[in-house]
């Protein structure tokens, strides 16, 4: 069904290098700082999309609640930055100086205990990965050991996303409510709002993303990765072979969550605030769309898919402020109808064979790989 | 209706041609000795690289035209476009026609921040008219302060903010609340109040101010205070509590779609608002919201605002006629729409006073600027960048309009950080 293993690996490596060159050299070279910052924001969503490729593409676990983990990572970072911005001098106009402004508006007079550890950057960095992963572990443990999967799992993740949004909005004294945590200024005294800081953050973000993709490639090409594919295609057979299916599922779900958390933290750093509009159902589904447009089996494709969708969103909405949603809808329908395997599918079915025909001897003609009937069943 | 402003490249080219055409016409008239003011050279009025040329100045309009907030923000967009058109018909600002670039905040706060940055950094607009919810304003505020832009924000809001880069053309909470409570205590003899609202910062802060005023200044009693999530539609339990506690006044700050459910259920539960037992007072229902609620469902309630469409003065009659002429006869105009309309005019006055489009000069020139042509009457910009304006009480009629039953004699001073109310 797929090309021989080492060939696929070679393609992936080639794709990885092209992506690295694109993100690190081409984009910074041709895009102005304002647009580069936007691209940086899009790339933070790519963390989620990469996680979804592992979770959904490889292991067949469709989560419609990845926004939860993106949001948790983002909120951890935002809490740290907000505490740094809320010095007693900067907030002396408040009734209780030294606490974040929204707490003061909500009549809190002391910093809640769970905010205290976020004074420490080290704790925050650990929390960005650990909090999403821990929640994913709880959800995964509760679901997968009971063999809840497929559409039921998707619905439950969606419900959790809704619950978390309501919780954040409802507890506005502790979370900033609908407004979110805004007006973040510095990271250890370093002003993150300047153009140079934004450019540096872009590169940090890009390197982190490439690192995460490299790690994901390693996971996928390991024995573990093959077991994941096996349990996507025939879960019972893997279970009967003596593997603990739940453990593998929990692992990949936690891994995807941790990655998403990193994306969320980078988002907060680059955009300068975090709000519940990134936690709920709509953003979670949007993130699945990024992944689907890129091709849910391709780690590299997911990044391009994220970039394409978000770039389209920005461009359409700038040019046709009243009609842009229709254009986006049209794009999704077109991709799903015409190219069910997304951008990666287009590359595999059309570009790669063409490439092969030109570069390799013309006589060496093979059936196009990955196209046509080999479409894996969509995880229901 | 919405015909000539859809954006898009070909149209904006056309628009530009029209602009150039009309500018040429204006110049022709000036040359013919009609008495057009001399246009100052661009180098003098724009020293910071804003999008100002010899005959055009670009501004931004940033509201949600898609998503859940679109229904509320559309009126503001229409009012801003009307003001811009009228200013252009009068010859523009410092001899330059205003061209607007519209962006869609899509009811999503990060999108607002992104678009605000785009307007300031890429388009270099001289001013932005926009935002509606507090959340969107909080999201764009750091952008405006960092890139030194000018935002004209139209919505009545909770206060607790004062930025040099924002002119708040709506009223802050004390301007909306205090005079209304004084009126209801004095004229209606109200003694007990039941506060309720949607659960976010504006209703909570407003009710905090209301409670302080009721308890500390009027010496009256609050018998209940409750909040419901945005979009909540089941108000039967609170209505039962209200029936038990029998307050004189239900003080309701319910927002958005929840209003429809709240007023219908109130009526269904047998509370006849026209009997005023209890009396219903709100600060969150303008003529725009009544369209959704239905005039017959809210008839008899009182609202405190600074503007009602029914205001009887010449400025307002002209404004209402021009608005309906541009956007359709069946349009209604609420408080925020009127405040949005003031934005471009206040900006024009500031630019002309400063003799420059430079943001820093506008900031400095803004305090003290008066607008005698405002539909609400006379307004003036305070040192704290909010407006001096009157508070008015309206009585809802079944046709969806308010009848003005009271207005403060003096302009109310804006006080975004009210002492004794925090």
Residue B419 falls inside a structural domain:
no
Judging contacts by C-beta atoms under 8 Å, the chain B residues touching residue A38 are: 114
The candidate with the shortest Cα–Cα distance to A300, out of A5, A3, A7, A18, is A18
| Residue A177 in contact with partner chain B when CB distance is under 8 A | yes
Residues of A in contact with B108 (CB under 8 A): 277
> What ipTM is given for this predicted complex?
0.76
What is the nearest CA distance from A305 to chain B, expressed in angstroms?
19
Please work out, in degrees rounded to the nearest 5, the angle formed at the alpha carbon of residue B256 by the alpha carbons of B83 and A156: 130
Mean of the per-residue pLDDT values of chain B: 88
Question: What's the number of CA atoms in the CB half-sphere (13 Å) around residue B325?
Answer: 10
Does the CB of A107 have a partner CB in chain B at under 8 Å? yes
Answer whether residue B321 is part of any domain: yes
User: Is the bond preceding B278 in cis, omega lying within 30 degrees of 0?
Assistant: yes
Size of interface A-B (CB pairs under 8 A): 106
Kindly determine whether residue A321 and residue B65, on different chains, have CB atoms separated by under 8 Å. Answer: yes
Question: A183 to chain B: which residues are within 8 Å by CB?
Answer: 138, 141-142
The residue of B3, B6, B7 whose CB has the most chain A CBs within 10 angstroms, and thus the best one to mutate to test that interface, is B7
Angle at B171 (CA atoms; ends B168, B177), nearest 5 degrees: 155
Q: Is residue A243 part of a domain?
A: yes
The pLDDT assigned to B38 comes to 61
Cα A135 from Cα A113, distance rounded (Å) = 20
Residue B389 has pLDDT above 90, yes or no: yes
| Cβ <8 Å between A317 and B160 | no
C-alpha to C-alpha distance for A186 and B76, rounded to whole angstroms: 35
In a domain, A293, yes or no: no
Note the pLDDT of residue A362.
Answer: 52
CB A231 within 8 A of CB A42: no
pTM of the model: 0.83
- Look at B200 and A172 and tell me if their CB atoms are within 8 Å: yes
**Beta carbons of B229 and A166 less than 8 Å apart:** yes
For tokens 């592992």, the residue is: A54
Question: Tokens 């910074």 belong to which residue?
Answer: A28
Alpha carbon of A15: minimum distance to chain B alpha carbons (Å): 30
Quote the mean pLDDT of chain A: 86
- Contact across the interface for B117 and A34, Cβ inside 8 Å: yes
Q: Is the pLDDT of residue B28 over 70?
A: no
Answer whether residue B269 is part of any domain. yes
Asked whether residue B4 is domain-assigned, the answer is no
Shortest CA distance to A199 belongs to which of A36, A375, A24, A337? A36
Instruction: Please indicate whether, in this complex, the C-beta atoms of B8 and A272 are within 8 angstroms of each other.
Output: no
Distance from C-alpha of A205 to C-alpha of A41, rounded to nearest angstrom: 9
Across the interface, do B104 and A182 touch by the CB < 8 Å criterion?
Answer: no
Contact criterion met (CB < 8 Å) for A322 and B65: yes
Of A41, A177, A319, the CB nearest to B200: A177
User: How many Å lie between the alpha carbon of A177 and the closest alpha carbon of chain B?
Assistant: 7
Q: Do A317 and B106 touch (CB under 8 A)?
A: yes
A194 falls within a domain: yes
- With CB atoms and an 8 Å threshold, state whether B6 touches A183: no
Query: Which residue would you say has higher pLDDT here, A280 or B372?
Result: B372
Do residue B120 and residue B31 come from a single domain?
yes
- A273–B113 C-beta distance less than 8 A: yes
Q: Is the pLDDT of residue B253 over 90?
A: yes
From CA B154, how far away is CA B167, in angstroms rounded?
9
- CB-CB neighbours of B166 under 10 Å: 23
Q: pLDDT at position A5, please?
A: 57
Quote the CA–CA distance of B108 and B91 in Å, as a whole number. 36
Q: Which of A181, A198, A318 to mutate to test the interface with B (most CBs of B within 10 A)?
A: A318
B29 and B86, same domain (yes or no)? yes
Domain enclosing residue A259, as ranges: 5-276
Residue among B111, B160, B199 minimizing CB distance to A170: B199
For residue B106, the chain A residues in CB contact (below 8 A) are: 317
Contact B63, B131 (CB under 8 A): yes
Task: State CA A76 to chain mean position distance.
Answer: 16
**Min Cα separation A33/chain B (Å):** 10
B202 chain-A contacts, CB cut-off 8 A? none
Measured in whole angstroms, the distance separating CA B336 from the mean position of its chain's CA atoms is 3
**Residue B1 located in a structural domain:** no
Q: What is the mean pLDDT of residues B54-70?
A: 90
Q: What stretch of H or E contains B196?
A: strand B192-198
Residues 197-256 of A with CB under 8 A from B: none
B420 found inside a domain: no
Measured between CA atoms, how close is A224 to chain B, in angstroms? Answer: 38
pLDDT digits (tens, 9 = 90+) for B106-135: 888 888 998 999 999 999 999 999 999 888
Q: Is A169 exposed, middle or buried (0-12, 13-18, 19+ CB in 10 A)?
A: buried
First to last CA, chain A: 20
Nearest-neighbour CA in chain A from B103: distance (Å): 6
CA distances from A126 to A129, A213, B82 (A): 6, 20, 53
Check CB contact of A115 with chain B, cutoff 8 Å.
no
Q: Which two tokens mark B55?
A: 């005959």
In B, minimum Cα distance to A319 occurs at: B8
- Statement: residue B11 has pLDDT above 60: no
State the nearest Cα–Cα gap between B144 and chain A, in angstroms.
Answer: 11
Measure B64 CA to nearest chain A CA, in Å: 9
Cβ contact, residue pair B230, A169, below 8 Å: yes
**Sequential DSSP letters for A265-330:** HHHHHHHS-B-GGGTSHHHHHHHHHHHHHH-TT-HHHHHHHHHHHHHHHHHHHHH-TTTHHHHHHH
How close is the nearest chain A Cα to the Cα of B12, in Å?
10
Give the number of domains in chain A.
1
pLDDT, tens digit (0-9, with 9 covering 90-100), for A42-93: 999 999 999 999 999 999 999 999 999 999 999 999 999 999 988 888 887 7
Per-residue pLDDT, B20: 52
Which chain A residues contact residue B230 at CB under 8 A? Answer: 169, 178
**Long-range contacts (CB closer than 8 Å, 24 or more residues apart) made by B357-362:** B357/B45, B357/B46, B357/B50, B357/B52, B357/B57, B357/B94, B357/B126, B358/B45, B358/B46, B358/B47, B358/B48, B358/B50, B359/B48, B359/B50, B359/B126, B359/B148, B359/B149, B359/B150, B359/B165, B360/B48, B360/B148, B362/B127, B362/B150
Is residue A197 in a domain?
A: yes
In a domain, B276, yes or no: yes
Taking CA–CA distances from B12, the nearest residue in chain A reads: A319
Nearest CA in chain A to B74: A322
Out of B9, B200, B205, the one facing A178 most closely (by C-beta) is B200
Tokens of A241: 């072979």
Of the candidates B225, B54, B204, B208, the residue with the CA atom closest to the CA atom of residue A171: B204
Residue A378 is predicted with a pLDDT of: 42
Indicate whether B15 and B150 sit together in one domain. Answer: yes
pLDDT of residue A319: 82
Question: Is B414 contained in some domain?
Answer: no
Q: Find the mean pLDDT for residues B172-196.
A: 93
Q: Could you say which DSSP state residue B171 is in? A: -
**B122 neighbourhood in chain A, CB within 8 Å:** 34
Chain A residues 348-367 with a CB less than 8 Å from chain B = none
Q: Alpha-carbon distance B203 to B157, whole Å?
A: 9
CA pair distance A34, B400, nearest whole angstrom: 46
Domain match, B95 and B217 both: no
Domains held by chain B: number = 2
Range of the domain at B366: 9-171+313-388
CATH code for the domain of B124? 3.40.50.2300
List Cα–Cα distances, A207 to A53, A130, A287, A322, B26, in angstroms: 19, 20, 21, 37, 56
> What phi, psi does B381 have (nearest 5°)?
-85, 130
Query: Out of A95, A184, A277, whose CB is closest to B110?
Result: A277
Low-confidence spans in chain A with pLDDT less than 50: 1-3, 363, 368-380
CA of residue A199 relative to chain centroid, distance = 20
Strand-pair partners of B197: B227, B253
- Using CA coordinates, name the residue in chain A closest to B205: A105
A178 — contact with chain B (CB < 8 Å)? Answer: yes
SS3 A181: strand
């Amino acid at each position: 069904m797929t090309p021989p293993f080492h060939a696929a690996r070679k393609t992936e490596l080639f794709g990885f290098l092209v992506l690295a060159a694109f993100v690190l050299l081409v984009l910074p070279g041709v895009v102005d700082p304002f647009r580069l910052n936007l691209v940086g924001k899009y790339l933070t969503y790519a963390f989620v999309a990469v996680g979804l490729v592992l979770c959904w593409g490889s292991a067949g676990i469709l989560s419609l609640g990845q926004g939860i983990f993106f949001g948790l990572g983002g909120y951890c970072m935002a809490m740290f930055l907000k505490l740094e911005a809320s010095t007693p001098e900067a907030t002396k106009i408040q009734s209780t100086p030294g606490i974040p402004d929204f707490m003061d508006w909500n009549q809190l007079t002391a910093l809640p205990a769970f905010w205290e550890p976020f004074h420490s950057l080290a704790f925050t960095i650990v929390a960005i990965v650990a909090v999403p992963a821990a929640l994913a572990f709880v959800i995964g443990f509760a679901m997968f050991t009971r063999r809840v999967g497929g559409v039921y799992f998707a619905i439950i993740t969606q419900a959790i996303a809704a619950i978390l949004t309501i919780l954040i909005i409802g507890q506005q004294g502790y979370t900033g409510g609908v407004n979110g945590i805004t007006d973040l200024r510095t990271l250890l005294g370093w002003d993150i709002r300047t153009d140079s800081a934004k450019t540096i953050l872009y590169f940090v973000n890009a390197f982190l993303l490439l690192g995460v993709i490299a790690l994901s490639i390693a996971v996928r090409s390991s024995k573990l990765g093959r077991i994941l594919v096996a349990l996507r295609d025939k879960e019972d057979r893997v279970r009967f072979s003596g593997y603990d299916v739940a453990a593998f599922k929990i692992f990949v779900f936690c891994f995807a969550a941790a990655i998403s958390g990193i994306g969320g933290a980078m988002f907060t750093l680059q955009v300068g605030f975090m709000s519940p509009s990134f936690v709920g159902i709509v953003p979670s589904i949007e993130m699945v769309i990024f992944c689907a447009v890129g091709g849910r089996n391709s780690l590299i494709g997911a990044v391009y898919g994220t970039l394409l969708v978000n770039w389209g969103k920005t461009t359409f909405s700038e040019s046709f402020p009243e009609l842009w949603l229709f254009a986006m809808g049209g794009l999704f329908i077109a991709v799903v109808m015409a190219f069910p395997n997304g951008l990666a599918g287009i590359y595999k079915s059309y570009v790669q064979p063409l490439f092969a025909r030109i570069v390799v001897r013309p006589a060496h003609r093979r059936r196009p790989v990955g196209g046509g009937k080999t479409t894996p069943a969509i995880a229901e | 209706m919405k015909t000539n402003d859809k954006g898009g490249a070909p149209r904006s080219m056309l628009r530009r041609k029209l602009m150039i055409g009309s500018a040429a016409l204006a110049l022709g008239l000036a040359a013919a000795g009609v008495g057009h003011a001399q246009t100052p050279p661009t180098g003098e009025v724009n020293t910071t690289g804003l999008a100002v040329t010899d005959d055009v100045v670009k501004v931004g309009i940033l509201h949600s035209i898609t998503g859940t907030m679109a229904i509320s923000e559309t009126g503001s967009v229409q009012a801003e476009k009307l003001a811009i058109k009228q200013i252009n018909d009068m010859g523009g600002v410092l001899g330059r026609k205003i061209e607007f670039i519209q962006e869609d905040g899509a009811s999503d706060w990060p999108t607002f921040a992104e678009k605000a940055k785009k307007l300031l950094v890429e388009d270099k607009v001289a001013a932005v008219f926009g935002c509606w919810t507090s959340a969107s304003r909080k999201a764009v505020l750091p952008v405006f302060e960092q890139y030194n832009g000018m935002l004209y924000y139209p919505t009545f809001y909770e206060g607790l903010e004062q930025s040099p880069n924002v002119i708040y053309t709506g009223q802050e909470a004390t301007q909306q609340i205090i005079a209304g409570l004084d009126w209801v205590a004095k004229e209606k003899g109200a003694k007990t109040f039941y506060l309720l609202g949607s659960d976010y910062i504006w209703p909570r802060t407003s009710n905090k101010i209301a409670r302080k005023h009721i308890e500390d200044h009027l010496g009256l009693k609050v018998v209940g205070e409750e909040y419901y999530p945005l979009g909540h539609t089941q108000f039967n339990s609170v209505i039962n509590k209200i029936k038990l506690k029998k307050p004189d006044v239900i003080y309701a700050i319910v927002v958005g779609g929840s209003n429809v459910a709240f007023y219908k259920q109130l009526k269904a539960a047998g509370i006849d608002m026209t009997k005023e037992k209890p009396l219903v007072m709100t600060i969150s229902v303008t003529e725009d919201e009544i369209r959704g609620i239905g005039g017959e469902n809210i008839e008899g309630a009182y609202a405190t605002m600074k503007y009602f469409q029914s205001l009887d003065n010449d400025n307002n009659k002209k404004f209402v006629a021009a608005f309906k002429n541009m956007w359709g006869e069946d349009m209604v105009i609420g408080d925020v729409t009127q405040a949005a309309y003031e934005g471009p005019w206040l900006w024009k006055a500031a630019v002309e006073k400063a003799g420059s489009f430079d943001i820093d000069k506008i900031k400095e020139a803004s305090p003290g600027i008066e607008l005698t042509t405002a539909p609400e009457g006379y307004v003036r910009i305070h040192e704290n960048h909010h407006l001096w304006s009157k508070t008015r009480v309206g009585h809802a009629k079944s046709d969806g309009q308010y009848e003005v039953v009271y207005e403060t004699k003096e302009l109310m001073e804006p006080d975004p950080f009210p002492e004794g109310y925090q």
